[in-house]
Amino acid sequence: MKPIKIGIAGTGVVASGVVNILKRNADEITRRAGRDIEVIVVSSRTRAKAEALVGNDVQIVNDIMEVARHPDVDIVVETMGGYEPAKSFVLEAIAHGKHVVTANKALLAEHGNEIFKAAQDKGVTVAFEAAVAGGIPVIKALREGLSANRIEWIAGIINGTTNFILTQMREKGWTFADALKVAQELGYAEADPTFDVEGVDAAHKITLMSALAFGVPIDFKAASIEGISKLAAADIAYAEKFGYRIKLLGITKRVSNGTTDGIELRVHPTLIPESRLIANVNGVMNAVLVKGDAVGATLYYGAGAGSEPTGSSVIADLIDVTRTITADPEHRVPHLAFQPDSLASIPMLPLSAVKTRYYLRLTAQDRTGVLADITRILANHDISVDAMLQTEVDDATKEAHIVIMTHVSQESNVDTAVSEIKALASITGGVVKLRVEELG
């Protein structure tokens, strides 16, 4: 049987992982795929770099569109990242009847609906296992392994940079700025870390998983996003006192309780009970919890980035596409797990509709009646207190921290109460609000 021929756009970190694994594990990959997978063309702006990666037997071109239009290529691999020229390249490849494998979560979160529609119309596949959690095969789990289940929720540590920073803040008591500096020195964070530390990268990934879990179109604009740049080391320490650890989670949840029917889609720092396995995922590692109605909670753990972990997922997609390349399009696993004509129009819920527990930290002056004022405001908005901690009064400032853990409350009620608490004359320095997820 003739080999499947591959064209790769880019010669960066992901592309090098793909090429190296294809070389090293060629026999094993052929046994799994049923035929050889052969790289025949790569695009690169630096010919010497490309030659060092693929040698002299592979065609090297400067224009990525030559890869997309190459008459002998069966599958293109997009490893460039970003929106453009990646989008134009992918659509051009589809228009020329090529199957596509990509690790580009930003592209799919923003333009996935258009890309998948083009692929469906042309009868080709767009595979994206590497786009969500690097080497962790969670897309395959959602599309196939858990297909008997009604997915209830997903919660994931899906950004290694922020997980490394939070780990250092907890273990070493560092500030956010100190932990970020070390992450940059070690190569875990970019010179401009905004997409990571402000939660955008995680939001791209959870948006894709939400569509797969609930059979809805991709809707990145509906995501509520909060990063970790304003998180204080004090809050990590106080969370520990209550038996919790703080992680940046991507969360998507189907809510259907008779009065509300919709999907939560959010990224934010979250308190998790320290006894949960996911609370003990540290450093740059990733983990995704998926709760199905039949299987219960399942955990997927591993490297969320890196050359060979990501390359591993790219090649898994190449093998899958190779296996199904002779199958009729209607018999392939759908791009978003559900058949394209069966996607649902379930509304995305605003953050104000979320119901969960909350952590509140206040800085208050040492005055009589402060706690009474705070608890009265909370009670007025149907927020009950589960636990409370107050530090000793600072002799210099005459202020103390008050930390409150609530029972389950609605976000809109908590926001209103926080606004009223901030307005109290005895409260200085604002109010820190973090969400709590039990994940049980």
The pLDDT score that the predictor gives to residue 348 is 93
Q: Looking at 87, 98, 140, 205, which residue is catalytic?
A: 205
The H or E element containing residue 253 is strand 244-256
The pLDDT score that the predictor gives to residue 331 is 63
Global confidence as pTM: 0.93
The pLDDT score that the predictor gives to residue 345 is 85
Count of CA atoms in the C-beta half-sphere (13 A) of 213: 27
Cα torsion 434, 256, 216, 131: sign: positive
- Summarize the annotated binding site for L-homoserine as residue ranges: 190
Q: Which CATH architecture has domain 354-436?
A: 2-Layer Sandwich (3.30)
Rounded to the nearest 10 degrees, the angle between the axes of helix 86-95 and helix 105-122 is: 10
pLDDT tens track of the chain, all 440 residues?
899 999 999 998 999 999 999 999 999 999 999 899 999 999 998 888 899 989 888 999 999 999 999 999 999 999 999 999 999 999 999 999 999 999 999 999 999 999 999 999 999 999 999 999 999 999 999 999 999 999 999 999 999 999 999 999 999 999 999 999 999 999 999 999 999 999 999 999 999 999 999 999 999 999 999 999 999 999 999 999 999 999 999 999 999 877 788 999 999 999 999 999 999 999 999 999 999 999 999 999 999 888 999 999 999 999 999 988 876 666 667 776 677 777 788 999 999 999 999 999 999 998 888 999 999 999 999 999 999 999 988 888 889 999 999 999 999 999 999 999 999 999 998 899 999 999 97
Separation between Cα atoms, residue 86 and residue 68, nearest integer Å: 11
**Nearest Cα to Cα of residue 200 among 172, 181, 225:** 225
The tokens describing 402, both together, are 């008050």
- Summarize the annotated binding site as residue ranges: 105, 190
Domain coordinates in residue numbering, the chain: 4-128, 148-302, 354-436
- Summarize the annotated binding site for NADPH as residue ranges: 105
The tokens describing 300, both together, are 């997927």
The pLDDT score that the predictor gives to residue 330 is 65
Separation between Cα atoms, residue 376 and residue 22, nearest integer Å: 64
Q: Which CATH architecture has domain 4-128?
A: 3-Layer(aba) Sandwich (3.40)
**Nearest Cα to Cα of residue 359 among 391, 403, 411:** 403
- Is residue 2 annotated as part of the catalytic site, yes or no? no
What letter does residue 336 receive in the DSSP assignment?
T
What CATH code would you report for 148-302? 3.30.360.10
Identify the burial level of 84 via C-beta atoms within 10 angstroms of its C-beta, where 0-12 means exposed, 13-18 middle and 19 or more buried: exposed
